């Protein structure tokens, strides 16, 4: 069964350093997402991406964050200058089509296993 | 921002019995709802979904019920099995032009053998 993969599984970095988290979405999916879960808190939406551009982003996704689809298979999240509060599990997700078209439609986002980011 | 709430942080159920997990939402624009299951150190795994035009959706041992007037949904697992022990998240979205999922805080389900 196709699945979303993420690398690395665990990333440790010093505050102020740049990190890049990598994801390989399911191959026929067109919509990509990043979420994060700070320890003990709920899963929070960061950003969605379609057709090589951001379609929506949350207030968490400030100028320190960026996303890119550098080739036909990878989807990356870059944090330019990490802060202690960026420590969290970061989940990539993908879906085949957008949740649009009314309540008759709907699509499922499939999640990767996550990257645990620890900022020291 | 508590648009999706799961008021029970934990639930213990005997193996073979029914597990009922509950979720409430406040945003009346939500029209698509999903349940995810999560094991430690893994990503959320999709279980079942329901759109707002339905009040019930069933898939094997899993059934989701939606009560739009009460803004409430529930997940029934019957019979419960030890492998069902995990954290369950309910999530919601608005299908017109809004792709993001809004998650609840999760309920930790423990199945007692």
| Substitution target from B87, B95, B96, B107 for chain A, most A beta carbons within 10 A | B95
Q: Tokens at residue B34, please?
A: 């999903």
Confidence band for B105, pLDDT divided at 50, 70 and 90: very high
CB-based contact, A31 to chain B, within 8 Å? yes
Around A83, how many Cα atoms within 13 Å sit in the side-chain half-sphere? 7
Tell me the C-alpha distance between B30 and A78, whole Å: 30
Mutate to test the interface with A, among B29, B42, B91, B101 (most CBs of A within 10 A): B101
- Summarised one tens digit per residue, pLDDT across range B6-23 is 999 999 999 999 999 999
CB spacing of B103 vs A43 below 8 angstroms: yes
Sign of torsion over alpha carbons B43, B109, B33, B57: positive
* % helix, strand, coil for chain A, step of 5: 0, 50, 50
CB contact under 8 A, B32 and A45: no
pLDDT of residue B2: 75
* pLDDT tens per residue, range A58-89: 999 999 999 999 887 899 999 999 999 999 99
Flag if A4 and B34 touch (Cβ within 8 Å).
Answer: no
- Is the minimum CB–CB distance between B113 and chain A shorter than 8 Å? no
């Amino acid at each position: 069964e196709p699945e979303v993969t993420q690398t690395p599984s665990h990333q440790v970095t010093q505050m102020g350093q740049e990190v890049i988290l990598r994801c390989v979405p399911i191959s026929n999916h067109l919509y990509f997402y990043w979420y994060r879960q700070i320890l003990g808190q709920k899963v929070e939406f960061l950003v969605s991406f379609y057709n090589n551009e951001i379609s929506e982003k949350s207030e968490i996704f400030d100028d320190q964050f960026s996303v890119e689809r550098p080739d036909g298979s990878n989807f990356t999240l870059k944090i330019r200058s990490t802060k202690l509060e960026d420590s969290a599990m970061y989940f990539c997700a993908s879906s085949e089509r957008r949740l649009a078209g009314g309540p008759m439609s709907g699509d499922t986002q499939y999640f990767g296993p996550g990257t645990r980011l620890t900022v020291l | 921002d508590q648009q999706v709430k799961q008021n029970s942080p934990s639930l213990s159920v005997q193996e073979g019995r029914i597990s009922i997990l509950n979720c409430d939402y406040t945003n009346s624009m939500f029209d698509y709802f999903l349940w995810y299951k999560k094991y430690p150190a893994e990503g959320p795994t999709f279980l079942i979904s329901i759109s707002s035009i339905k009040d019930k959706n069933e898939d094997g041992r899993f059934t989701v019920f939606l009560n739009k007037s009460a803004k409430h949904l529930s997940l029934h697992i019957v019979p419960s099995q030890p492998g069902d022990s995990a954290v369950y998240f309910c999530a919601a979205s608005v299908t017109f032009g809004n792709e993001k999922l809004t998650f609840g805080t999760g309920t930790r389900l423990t199945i007692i053998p």
